[in-house]
Chains A and B, each alone.
Chain A
């Protein structure tokens, strides 16, 4: 493939030398040849003479052949493109472009699978370029036009940056590039050849996060919380071996194959062949000295595995008692939401702040949440973290009871339902979030992901789901929003990060990247509606609308509720696109009432408003029988979230009843 590129590059030297292409001066339509990279019009394939000369000057390689210099330059662009892709595109499209990035679950429609035959392999290069440069907000996907997410990247990366990304994506545009499904021959022996092959896999796939030397310090590392694993200390969380022991090859294979839920580590089974996964294990073991120490042989330290005990009421009761006695709640909280007294001060072996797992969210169990996996966590502990082994404190049977109890805390997985149906009630609507009438209304779980559209973009959101219920008495509509939040944050401060240079990139870096805890800010939530509810599928872009289609936000702030001197705890505002200012409505127009309550790791916030306000140019109007789009923004203060650093959802819908 490289030879082909080289030949093609040579064939086009003349053209490029003559044209000395400026990034803006290309005629896309005329260049469409299809089947890129062979027919690529990417100007980076044809570096200018100046650029080549400059490289020769800079590297001091006077002897270098001009063609070789050009190849090196293209490879450098490709490398830069890969880093740009991993920094900017990976959060949604995934490390390998499969549309399975850590934020892919949050949005509907989800990010495109760039490896699918109908995407890059089919779409003409200029079209891809334009899509990336101009964004796809409101692009015609046919379903819900304004639900597409891709933002305008030209502003961030420039044309050259986008071409670099395309250079990096060429492999995916090339049909047959995927080697998925090969292998199956099992573990490879620890030979020099296997390590060398693993090194290639590592260089292609792993180093962007885990760093060139396995120190967990790749170019993406500072943007992720939790950080990518530093392999040099031989500390691995998910093992079948005792506390402090190394993992077996099979343990590493399991983690690599299934990924680490709730983090940026993807499941590699769809991205690497089985053989590649075994090979990369042989390579990454070379990063930690301990793997070559015969005294540290993990196979001598494998813990015995036994069979689960059925989850009977008796077993659950015993498990609950063990949860109390073992004081699991000191870290994980009485209700298992990861909000115990220790939660605020825990640190990992690298001195980075670390939070105890929220045991009610199965999809956040990093090592998986089947019974055996949970059993292993109790038995072996999670090396490198404060989670200790309980092998010395609990019998095998007791551990299985605890597995059953912890499993019973897991709530149902997030579903696909996106329609909220208010429950019709008589009388005034309850302002108290704990009023039992809220439980009569059907619940809708809305997934959220990081704000990925405008700076500061955010890929480490804390809140990934909000449960919503609605009540309607014919005059007024009420919403109750409930979400997990370990800490009640009520300080009025407005964000951070500038002084630490954390906002320099297209995405913001978490303060944890500096080994610090975020300063506590305040928790908040916003309900977002279109100001005008059109007929059909037309609706504003789901993140704060656009100049033609403004949105109406109801923002509730915990700090102001705590101290009303600080301002309105609930404020109605309008916005016409994320780049435009938030416009608070005048005092006379403020008509939303509400209240928030925080208890044991859970916020419950009620917001009430009459159906009509008489200000249809500012406020959404709830017409009987209507379908109203609704989206959410949530801020977790102790995760450093404020301003545009937040969790957001795409549109859900409220189906209002017909008036009786």
Chain B
């Protein structure tokens, strides 16, 4: 069980992670400023904004998680799929971490023309991790010639669950909630993806080099947060789904200078 704390409202919101922690009541006080319920964000001009840039690195012996067992449709999807839960480069750079500002209430304009896509292809949700803004659309495509469903839970509570039986079918959904969303397919137990929904534009997902940039930030003090899915496999359930440790959240207090740049690095260990 995750214990999700919306710092803005100062209440504890207990949720069960959809995948994973059944039975083990691992408690994690995540002071994740994901906007919370009803949090407003004002779009303003930011003429003197600064930039945060940085890198996420893994400290310790490099590791690769065991591939996932694929139980259906082996012709197209194979019998195993590589795990994307922990992707570390040879230099220890971590992909698919989300870096964001906590609880920022005003700043640059939100680009609402940016399209957000989630594609189910060869029994895989791609990209594995992404971010988007509340009130914009998520386009979900099935590129496979058989049934997937996209079963999405935001902060552990189902948000959408739609069947997508036709090849190249695109279903567009307006996302109206903020938080951490877990995406699964009930036809293929190994399929899993994550995204985070914010009510502001200051969020990024690290690339293959573990780097990220947040720009046009109004000068001032902020808490920069990192979320990573987890990298410790605790075991697996009866159907071969891996069960991970709780996800990881790290904080750094920083100050963004006028028109300047601040470097923020995170270490996973």
Taking the nearest CB of chain B, how far is it from the CB of A645, in angstroms? 20
A392 proximal to B (CB < 8 A): yes
A232 to B187, CA, bound (A): 27
B61 proximal to A (CB < 8 A): no
Give the interface segment out of A32-40, A65-73, A107-115, A509-517: A509-517
User: B176, A295: Cβ atoms under 8 Å?
Assistant: yes
B169 proximal to A (CB < 8 A): yes
- Within 8 Å CB of A386, what residues of B? 149, 151, 161, 186
A549 proximal to B (CB < 8 A): no
User: B158, A244: Cβ atoms under 8 Å?
Assistant: yes
A243 to B146, CA, bound (A): 21
Q: A326-B165, A330-B147, A516-B238 are in contact. Are A244 and B189 (CB under 8 A)?
A: no
Name which residue of chain A comes closest to B14, CB basis.
A232
User: B13, A326: Cβ atoms under 8 Å?
Assistant: no
A185 proximal to B (CB < 8 A): no
User: B160, A342: Cβ atoms under 8 Å?
Assistant: no
User: B189, A349: Cβ atoms under 8 Å?
Assistant: no
Residues 149-189 of A, flagged 1 when their CB comes within 8 A of B and 0 if not, give: 00000000000000000000000000000000000000000
- Within 8 Å CB of B157, what residues of A? 233-235, 290, 349
Point out the residue from B156, B160, B164 that lies within 8 Å of A244, measured CB to CB: B160
What is the total number of residues of chain B having a CB less than 8 Å from a CB of chain A? 39
B94 proximal to A (CB < 8 A): no
Taking the nearest CB of chain B, how far is it from the CB of A153, in angstroms? 33
Point out the residue from A350, A351, A384, A393 that lies within 8 Å of B165, measured CB to CB: A393
- Within 8 Å CB of A342, what residues of B? 72, 186-187
- Within 8 Å CB of A243, what residues of B? 158, 160-162
- Within 8 Å CB of A616, what residues of B? none
Point out the residue from A330, A347, A384 that lies within 8 Å of B187, measured CB to CB: A330
Q: A234-B157, A345-B189, A515-B22 are in contact. Are A327 and B146 (CB under 8 A)?
A: yes
B75 proximal to A (CB < 8 A): no
A351 to B17, CA, bound (A): 9
Contact residues of A between 340 and 392, Cβ < 8 Å to B: 341-342, 344-347, 349-351, 381, 383-384, 386-392
Point out the residue from A293, A294, A330, A391 that lies within 8 Å of B162, measured CB to CB: A391
Point out the residue from A349, A391, A393 that lies within 8 Å of B158, measured CB to CB: A349
Contact residues of A between 491 and 520, Cβ < 8 Å to B: 514-517
B71 proximal to A (CB < 8 A): yes
A289 proximal to B (CB < 8 A): yes
A325 proximal to B (CB < 8 A): yes
Taking the nearest CB of chain B, how far is it from the CB of A351, in angstroms? 4
User: B187, A393: Cβ atoms under 8 Å?
Assistant: no
- Within 8 Å CB of B169, what residues of A? 393
- Within 8 Å CB of A383, what residues of B? 158, 161
A347 to B18, CA, bound (A): 10
- Within 8 Å CB of B15, what residues of A? 233
Taking the nearest CB of chain B, how far is it from the CB of A501, in angstroms? 14
A308 to B24, CA, bound (A): 47
A344 to B189, CA, bound (A): 11
Residues 151-182 of B, flagged 1 when their CB comes within 8 A of A and 0 if not, give: 11100111111111110010100001100000
B268 proximal to A (CB < 8 A): no
- Within 8 Å CB of A384, what residues of B? 158
Point out the residue from A325, A346, A517 that lies within 8 Å of B166, measured CB to CB: A325
- Within 8 Å CB of B177, what residues of A? 295
Q: How many A-B contacts if CB must be within 8 Å?
A: 100
Name which residue of chain A comes closest to B23, CB basis.
A515
- Within 8 Å CB of A234, what residues of B? 157
Point out the residue from B16, B171, B186 that lies within 8 Å of A346, measured CB to CB: B186
Contact residues of A between 283 and 297, Cβ < 8 Å to B: 289-290, 293-295
Residues 34-48 of B, flagged 1 when their CB comes within 8 A of A and 0 if not, give: 000110000000000
User: B16, A350: Cβ atoms under 8 Å?
Assistant: yes
Point out the residue from B23, B72, B151 that lies within 8 Å of A341, measured CB to CB: B72
Which of A234, A289, A347, A391 has the most chain B CB atoms closer than 10 A to its own CB?
Answer: A347
Q: A327-B147, A381-B162, A386-B151 are in contact. Are A345 and B22 (CB under 8 A)?
A: no
User: A389, B163: Cβ atoms under 8 Å?
Assistant: yes
Which of B37, B147, B159 has the most chain A CB atoms closer than 10 A to its own CB?
Answer: B147
Q: A327-B165, A388-B151, A515-B23 are in contact. Are A349 and B187 (CB under 8 A)?
A: no
B239 proximal to A (CB < 8 A): yes
A593 to B151, CA, bound (A): 49
Residues 325-336 of A, flagged 1 when their CB comes within 8 A of B and 0 if not, give: 111001100000
Taking the nearest CB of chain A, how far is it from the CB of B135, in angstroms? 10
Point out the residue from A381, A390, A517 that lies within 8 Å of B238, measured CB to CB: A517
Name which residue of chain B comes closest to A295, CB basis.
B176
Name which residue of chain B comes closest to A345, CB basis.
B239
Taking the nearest CB of chain B, how far is it from the CB of A285, in angstroms? 15
A522 to B189, CA, bound (A): 25
A442 to B158, CA, bound (A): 48
A294 to B165, CA, bound (A): 33
User: B38, A293: Cβ atoms under 8 Å?
Assistant: yes
Sample of 23 A–B contacts (CB below 8 Å): A233-B15, A244-B159, A244-B160, A289-B13, A325-B166, A327-B146, A327-B147, A327-B165, A331-B187, A341-B72, A344-B239, A345-B71, A345-B189, A351-B16, A351-B19, A383-B161, A386-B161, A388-B150, A388-B151, A393-B162, A393-B164, A393-B166, A517-B238
CB-CB nearest 10 A-B residue pairs: A386-B186, A327-B147, A388-B163, A351-B22, A388-B149, A388-B161, A345-B239, A392-B171, A244-B159, A326-B165
Known: A327-B146, A349-B18, A388-B149; 6 extra A-B contacts, CB below 8 A, are A349-B16, A349-B158, A388-B162, A389-B161, A391-B162, A514-B23
